[in-house]
Amino acid sequence: MDNSVFSALVMTLVLFGAGLYIFEPFIRRGTVSLRDDYAETPLQGLLSQKDTIYSALKDLEFDYQTGKLSDDDYEELRKKFTAEASTVLEEIDSMRSGKNGGSKAGKKSQKTASATAVKERTCDKCGFAHEEDDKFCQSCGADLV
């Protein structure tokens, strides 16, 4: 009788421990985000915006070729996305050349870039933010020295 009670107690503890192990991610408070470790620079934001616009243009072209869009809708949307892409590309070029353009987004990017420059330095190739003692870019591997 004592042996069966002891066995039941051990099994209960083992099952309880296994349950805690399995459900620990659901029980734990707070989430861990990999993107929290990397500060997005203004240039990275613009590059991301450019990729989004290019993807939208590609989807637009596909929808038009499959007959989901009329000629008028296609032309209107293509002009809109092309104009947005042009604006973003001009801002990227001005940031890379150090001018930071005269558009509202360019001025906003310039303010953000100058605030970032005070706190950290950025990679000349990709614009990724780095700490002062880094010797290589964490994003593209370029030499920072």
List of long-range contacts for 102-109, beta carbons under 8 Å, 24+ apart: 108/42, 109/42, 109/43, 109/45, 109/46
**In the prediction, which pLDDT does 35 show?**
54
**In the prediction, which pLDDT does 31 show?**
58
**In the prediction, which pLDDT does 42 show?**
85
Q: What phi and psi, each to the nearest 5 degrees, are found at residue 133? A: -90, 0
- For CA atoms 100, 105, 111, 116, give the dihedral sign: negative
* Domain regions of the chain by residue span: 39-113
Q: What is the mean pLDDT of the chain?
A: 78
Please tell me which residue, 79 or 118, carries the higher pLDDT value: 79
**In the prediction, which pLDDT does 111 show?**
46
What pairing do the DSSP bridges indicate for beta strands 121-122 and 129-130? antiparallel
For residue 51, pLDDT over 80 is answered with yes
CA neighbor of 43 nearest in space, from 116, 131, 103: 116
